[in-house]
């Protein structure tokens, strides 16, 4: 349960239009207004950087844009061109697994569940193999 950010006593009913904090009453708003700071907006071209790196497996892990930090683009292209991966992805069961992970509320949980599937393990091993083979 939330409390008014100004007096910390009442349930907040209102939201400051500038900084979005919640407050309970006009008197609290008057108090707050003096110290109100607008919510910081990230500069337009740095928004992509806000993708948190410690949750890569939780967020659209098949989205190339989001994992380019971890995997160089040219290797992602290799993934896309890999015949082995394409063969694996011909399997409707695997596609279903990936869809499940993609739409799961908890991607981590879904990933863990998927790792119980030999097919998915094979798929992720194949991905890793392709990503790593250039370094070998």
Residues that bind Zn ion (CB under 5 A): 4, 6-7, 10, 16, 18-19, 24, 28, 36
> Min. distance of Cβ 1 from Zn ion in angstroms?
14
> Min. distance of Cβ 92 from Zn ion in angstroms?
52
When the beta carbons of 38 and 80 are compared against Zn ion, the nearer one is 38
> Min. distance of Cβ 2 from Zn ion in angstroms?
11
> Min. distance of Cβ 15 from Zn ion in angstroms?
9
When the beta carbons of 12 and 71 are compared against Zn ion, the nearer one is 12
Closest-CA residue to 55 (of 70, 43, 40): 70
Q: How far apart are CA 31 and CA 62, in angstroms?
A: 47
When the beta carbons of 28 and 114 are compared against Zn ion, the nearer one is 28
78-82 contacts: CB < 8 A, separation 24 or more? 78/130, 78/131, 78/134, 79/127, 79/130, 79/131, 82/126, 82/130
When the beta carbons of 9 and 135 are compared against Zn ion, the nearer one is 9
How is 3-62 classified by DSSP, letter by letter? Answer: --TTTSSS---EE-TTT--EESSHHHHHHHHHH--PPPPPPGGGGGGGS-GGGTTTS-TT
> Min. distance of Cβ 27 from Zn ion in angstroms?
7
When the beta carbons of 21 and 71 are compared against Zn ion, the nearer one is 21
Ramachandran class of 9: left when φ > 0, alpha when ψ lies in -120 to 50, beta otherwise: alpha
């Amino acid at each position: 349960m939330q409390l008014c950010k100004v007096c910390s006593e009442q349930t907040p009913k209102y939201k400051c239009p500038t900084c979005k904090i919640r407050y309970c009453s006009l008197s609290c708003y008057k108090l707050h207004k003096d110290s109100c700071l607008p919510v910081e907006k990230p500069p337009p071209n740095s928004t992509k950087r806000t993708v948190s790196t410690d949750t890569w497996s939780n967020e659209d892990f098949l989205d190339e844009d989001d994992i380019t930090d971890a995997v160089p683009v040219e290797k992602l292209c290799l993934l896309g061109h890999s015949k082995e991966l394409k063969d694996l992805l011909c399997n409707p069961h695997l596609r279903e697994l990936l869809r499940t992970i993609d739409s799961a509320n908890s991607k981590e949980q879904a990933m863990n569940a998927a790792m119980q599937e030999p097919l998915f393990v094979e798929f992720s091993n194949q991905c890793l193999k392709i990503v790593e083979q250039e370094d070998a």
